[in-house]
């Protein structure tokens, strides 16, 4: 039987529904999470609690005077730093004294400690270069161990040498000429250049300890504490040269190092690299090549470098790496003081080979009036040259720095 609306009980076939909430459940959960995130961010921004609520304790420690200065001056020596001129003197002598007291392992008075990386092993080593017992900074005859700030030019790489007032030359200011007696002025002269100072720790220390003042030291731009090494060398009457890495024939298989002067670069690019190299330290009388057989044979590449050297009042020493070098021809046109190495003393790095090279150097000096020898700062080589230097003058020769055998620049 069909049912009709009149006989159907009220409420049958009608579903009872719950009242609807104004916000859905997922939306409510998302809102709560958003509020929690906002609370966390606000706490991090406005509450200064880097320990996150962990228990803390504060202890007041008195800072010793001079400790800040001592810490700032101590470094690992592993970075190459540019030279921006002489450092300012300590403002407060009392702080300097306090820093000295703090350092319980200070080296002996008058000595200098430098950090050197050994080229063969790559290890760093602290080397103490001995000084005089009084602790005073040793000075040469001219008393000009410090760098003259008036003869520095600021570049984007740092300070580099320039001509001073009235044309004063760094090659004259930092020279260490010997005063020869009248009966020795015409004696054959021998100049020894020791390269690689600052690379081998033991070789560098031996060079400072055993070689006499007239021996010239050539510093590479890749060592550390170069300013200290150069200052020490000048103070002990050594003339200083900057070794400039130049392109060899087998480059890049044989790479002299960063900022090497290359024949593939433009003159402006090579001059910019030269300024970088010049800024590593100051107080040198001139430049000398390192490797560079291909570069020194290319006139279009070498000429701008020698012109820049002459412009800045420096000496240029050809290391004799190539018989095809055109440096001697170019130097005269730029009025550049010039010298060329006659032989490499350690070409055969044995005691017999070194002795023969030194004997050959004496023969060249006797025949030509002067001779220049080049060697590397390695302990065995330094020891052999030191023994030879003790006796060479008794045979009628005089040992002189490089500027006393270089061709002088003409007066302008």
- Residues facing 244 on adjacent strands: 289
Looking at the domain assignment, is residue 52 inside a domain? no
Looking at the domain assignment, is residue 364 inside a domain? yes
pLDDT, mean of residues 191-203: 94
Spell out where 249-353 has E strands.
286-291, 315-318, 338-340, 343-344
Tokens of 85: 């001129």
Range of the domain at 217: 171-404
Looking at the domain assignment, is residue 365 inside a domain? yes
Looking at the domain assignment, is residue 185 inside a domain? yes
Looking at the domain assignment, is residue 110 inside a domain? no
- Give the tens place of pLDDT for each residue, 303-313: 999 999 999 99
pLDDT, mean of residues 228-232: 95
Q: pTM of this prediction?
A: 0.69
Rounded to the nearest 10°, the torsion over CA 337, 342, 344, 350 is: -140
Tokens of 198: 């600052």
Please state, rounded to an integer, the average pLDDT across all residues of the chain. Answer: 80
pLDDT band at 107 (very low <50, low <70, confident <90, very high): low
Cα-only R_g, the chain:
35
Does 95 score more than 70 pLDDT? Answer: no
Does 339 score more than 60 pLDDT? Answer: yes
Q: 83 with 159: CB under 8 angstroms?
A: yes
Does 269 score more than 90 pLDDT? Answer: yes
Helix (H) or strand (E) holding 166: none
pLDDT of residue 142: 42
Looking at the domain assignment, is residue 130 inside a domain? no
- Give the tens place of pLDDT for each residue, 270-290: 999 999 999 999 999 999 999
Q: 343 with 320: CB under 8 angstroms?
A: yes
Looking at the domain assignment, is residue 195 inside a domain? yes
Share of the chain above pLDDT 90, in %: 60
Looking at the domain assignment, is residue 81 inside a domain? no
pLDDT, mean of residues 243-257: 94
Q: Pick from 208, 206, 243: which is nearest to 223 by CA?
A: 243
Share of the chain above pLDDT 70, in %: 67
Q: How far apart are CA 243 and CA 218, in angstroms?
A: 6
Tokens of 253: 């298989």
Does 82 score more than 80 pLDDT? Answer: no
pLDDT of residue 251: 94
Does 374 score more than 70 pLDDT? Answer: yes
pLDDT band at 128 (very low <50, low <70, confident <90, very high): low
Q: 300: domain CATH number?
A: 3.20.20.370
Structural domain tally of the chain? 1
Distance of CA 134 to the CA centre of its chain: 29
Residues in Cβ contact with 243 at an 8 Å cutoff, skipping those fewer than 6 apart: 195, 196, 218, 219, 220, 221, 287, 288, 289, 290
- Give the tens place of pLDDT for each residue, 14-24: 555 555 556 56
């Amino acid at each position: 039987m069909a049912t009709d609306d009149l006989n159907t009980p009220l409420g049958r076939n009608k579903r009872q529904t719950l009242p609807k909430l104004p916000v859905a459940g997922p939306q409510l959960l998302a809102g709560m999470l958003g509020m929690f995130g906002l609370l966390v961010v606000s706490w991090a921004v406005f509450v200064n609690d880097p320990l996150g609520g962990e228990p803390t304790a504060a202890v007041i420690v008195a800072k010793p005077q001079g400790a800040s200065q001592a810490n700032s001056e101590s470094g690992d020596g592993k970075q190459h730093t540019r030279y921006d001129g002489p450092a300012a003197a300590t403002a407060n002598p009392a702080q300097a004294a306090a820093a000295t007291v703090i350092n319980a392992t200070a080296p002996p008075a008058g000595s200098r400690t430098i950090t050197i990386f050994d080229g063969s092993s790559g290890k760093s080593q602290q080397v103490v270069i001995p000084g005089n017992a009084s602790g005073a900074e040793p000075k040469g005859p001219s008393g000009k161990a410090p760098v003259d700030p008036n003869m520095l030019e600021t570049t984007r790489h740092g300070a580099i040498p320039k001509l001073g007032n009235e044309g004063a030359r760094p090659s004259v200011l930092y020279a260490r000429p010997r005063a020869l007696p009248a009966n020795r002025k015409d004696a054959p002269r021998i100049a020894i250049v020791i390269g690689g100072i600052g690379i081998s720790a033991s070789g560098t220390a031996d060079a400072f300890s055993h070689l006499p003042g007239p021996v010239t030291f050539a510093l590479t731009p890749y060592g550390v504490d170069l300013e200290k090494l150069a200052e020490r060398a000048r103070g002990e009457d050594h003339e200083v040269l900057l070794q400039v890495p130049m392109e060899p024939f087998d480059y890049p298989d044989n790479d002299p190092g960063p900022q090497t002067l290359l024949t593939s670069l433009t003159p402006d690019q090579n001059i910019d690299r030269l300024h970088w190299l010049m800024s590593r330290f100051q107080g040198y009388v001139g430049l000398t090549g390192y490797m560079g057989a291909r570069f020194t044979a290319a006139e279009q590449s070498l000429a701008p470098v020698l012109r820049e050297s002459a412009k800045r009042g420096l000496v240029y020493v050809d290391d004799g790496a190539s018989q095809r070098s055109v440096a001697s021809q170019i130097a005269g046109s730029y009025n550049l003081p010039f010298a060329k190495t006659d032989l490499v003393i350690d070409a055969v790095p044995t005691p017999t080979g070194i002795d023969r090279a030194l004997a050959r150097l004496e023969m060249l000096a006797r025949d030509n009036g002067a001779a220049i020898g080049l060697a590397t700062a390695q302990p065995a080589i330094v020891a052999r040259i030191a023994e030879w230097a003790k006796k060479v003058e008794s045979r009628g020769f005089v040992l002189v720095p490089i500027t006393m055998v270089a061709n002088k620049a003409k007066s302008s």
